[in-house]
Structure 1
Amino acid sequence: SIIPCLRIELNHSYILLSNNEQGLRARDVLAICSLAVSTKTIEQEHIGEKGVGFKSVFAASNRPILISHAWKFCFHVSGLDAMSYITPLWITDQDIPDCISNQISTYAQHTHLYLPLKLQAHTPEANMFLDQVIKAADPCILLHMRHLKKLEIIDKRQNKVTIIEKEIIGPTKLEEQSNVTFEDFTFLNLAGSIIQLNTLTGYNTFRVYTCYIDVPNSIEQRRTSKTRLIIAFPCEINYDLTSTVYAGLPVCDLGFNFLFNADFQLVTNRENVRENVLFNTLIRNHLSALFVYLLLNDIDLRKDMNRYCPSLNTHQGKYSSWWLVMIDNINELITKYLSVLFEIQTGKTIRYFNKDLALLVSNEQLYNCADIHVIDTDHTFLTSEQLKSFQIQTVSIIDILNCFPHRQETLENKYRQQFELWTQRQDEQWCTNFSSSK
């Protein structure tokens, strides 16, 4: 069977994109040659609106050429004539440039988009633009694609070939759910998959979770009332994400150790989302809740919680307060559900281990005498800094004093009585040791 593949070839003067899927239909060509027309349907749930997606190629080229089966045409934008952006010029095989003719003839059944660059070849500006194209062809975009399974990037400037192929290994530990509500957020068709991105030199594994959310008409009028969210977590500790936020293609890097994809509305240069848009805020807040829900319900993900939890201390200088709200939301929910994450009995106060007071009281004594559950950062998946960000305090002298019997207690607490006797024996032992050392 054919593996759906996108091939991106770059040289100093052009970009050639080739795809081996269905190809262009008559209605697709009509949409490309029109404004405010799209062949995408609600059922297909594609990202894109009003048929303007193809028009973005004119940012790179004044003479894009499209070849798909019997369709062979180009556009030629030579000045201020707006109609040239939607007026096709039919071409023949003789009009196909020599630099791509071999690829076109070899893979005649594929769809090809040839973009001779506006920028002059071999200039710093052209090289910078081509480098940005390669960066946008981030392997992680395959995690978000429903059909595309393979990405080939051929950089003829450096004779470098990169091939990434997606393989679905199986489901995650998260149970698939058609409708789940967590806090005030509802997620539809929530499911998780373990996906490998294979290259010639190895592979990287991700836990990828997909769901849909409803978009109220009061927030945005859309062709469909639902939008898709994706969160992906790299399994390998040493995997270095180059981007965190995706809207199909990479948008920006927040420094998180997980990535997410959604139909964000972006600023003009695509380097951030539009922060004053209610739709983007809706997505951000749902992603915060989804992150914590996944930690609570996928045991494998929870084991790596320390790697994935974002910290204000780490990220506060990287982006605006709009994104920092996402970290705040995550931390607030984790604080609320920390007892569930650590399977701590209800009613217990949570503290983290204080090595300076370890000789004065044991974790077991604090648990039995003062209703305090101590988290030892040496034997758990969170650091002391992360626990501090969840408003968890270290064990204190006051906690130790609460282990002693209380005068106002009406019922005798045997654990506190035992603790008092233990401290008396410890005092005697310490005094003896101190005297003998003189």
Structure 2
Amino acid sequence: MHVCCNAEDNQYLVRVNPTLEFIITSTDIAATGAAATLLIFNNEKGFSRQNIESICSVGQSTKKGNRSSGYIGEKGIGFKSVFLVTAQPYIFSNGYQISFNENPCPQCSLGYIVPEWVEEKPTRLLDIKQIYGKDSLPTTTLVLPLKADKINSVKQQLSSIHPEILSFLSKIRDFSVREDNEDPKMESVTTVSISSEINSAAKKNLNAESYTIHLSAGENGNDEKVCSYYM
């Protein structure tokens, strides 16, 4: 839920359909020995130098005082919440390819806020693209090798996200959760998209906007179900 909120706060280019995608896989992409890895994809504008500096600081965030212009994972204190489920998160965004570690760095004895450049990017990106299923990736990709005792809880949280969550978000239009499994029969996919129609209506001499929201949801290749909500 925290990532959903932060993706909602991100900035997107004009004509981009804001999308948030989760894939959980048994592939050990980061070679950390993790039994499962969570991949998060978001087609936001991407990380900037200021965002990276904020992550590497204590008590700072590029969102502070400006909720409408954040970035996925909230650069700063919010991003560090990923350490609840991973010991070593990876960020690939706008040319940045870095990782963090909750264990203290041998050179400076600091953990969490010391970035390490990821040299093996080409190999890892090939693995990620293969799982993602496309030749190109969204602007921002987070790779979270999951802690062993957090795998089930993460799967449960992802499976419990209700499609109606999109009706409370003003930017995100497409949302998907997929479990990548070596056995295709065991894979699960949930996709949700939303569209709206806006009509001006006059009532009691006041101009108001009425919204009809169309929410489409599908699972495991089954026909999409559509619900409409009048707002």
Tell me if TM exceeds 0.5: yes
| 1:26 aligns with one of 28, 32, 49 | 49
Higher relative strand content: 2
**Is 1:170–2:193 an aligned residue pair?**
no
Cα deviation, 1:261-300, whole Å, max 9, x if unaligned, reads xxxxxxxxxxxxxxxxxxxxxxxxxxxxxxxxxxxxxxxx
Higher relative helix content: 1
Q: CA deviation at 1:99?
A: 4.4
Q: CA deviation at 1:61?
A: 0.4
Distance 1:108 1:57 in 2: 21
Q: Secondary structure at the match of 1:37?
A: coil
* Same amino acid, percent of matched pairs: 24
AA partner of residue 55 (structure 2): I
**Is 1:51–2:79 an aligned residue pair?**
no
Instruction: Kindly report which structure 2 residues correspond to 1:183-194, keeping only aligned pairs within 5 A, or say none.
Output: 193-194=211-212
Q: Which residue of 1 aligns with 2:118?
A: 91
Instruction: Kindly report which structure 2 residues correspond to 1:32-431, keeping only aligned pairs within 5 A, or say none.
Output: 32-40=55-63, 42=65, 45=68, 51-78=76-103, 83-92=110-119, 93-94=121-122, 96=124, 99-102=127-130, 103=132, 106-119=135-148, 126-135=151-160, 137-157=161-181, 158-171=186-199, 193-200=211-218, 201-208=224-231
Distance 1:14 1:86 in 2: 21
Distance 2:21 2:200 in 1: 30
Asked whether the 8 Å contact 1:7–1:151 carries over to 2, the reply is yes
* Unpaired runs of at least 5, structure 2: 1-14, 27-35, 219-223
Q: CA deviation at 1:71?
A: 0.6
Computing the radius of gyration over CA atoms, which structure comes out larger, 1 or 2?
1
Higher relative contact order (CA 8 A, sep 6+): 2
AA partner of residue 8 (structure 1): F
Q: CA deviation at 1:42?
A: 4.6
**Is 1:4–2:13 an aligned residue pair?**
no
Q: Secondary structure at the match of 1:56?
A: helix
Cα deviation, 1:72-108, whole Å, max 9, x if unaligned, reads 0000122699832111111121562764253398224
Distance 1:82 1:193 in 2: 54
Distance 1:176 1:52 in 2: 47
Asked whether the 8 Å contact 1:61–1:116 carries over to 2, the reply is yes
Normalising by structure 1, report the TM-score.
Answer: 0.38
Normalising by structure 2, report the TM-score.
Answer: 0.68
Aligned length: 192
Asked whether the 8 Å contact 2:39–2:143 carries over to 1, the reply is yes
Q: Cα gap change, 1:109/1:151 in structure 2, threshold over 3 Å: closer, same or farther?
A: closer
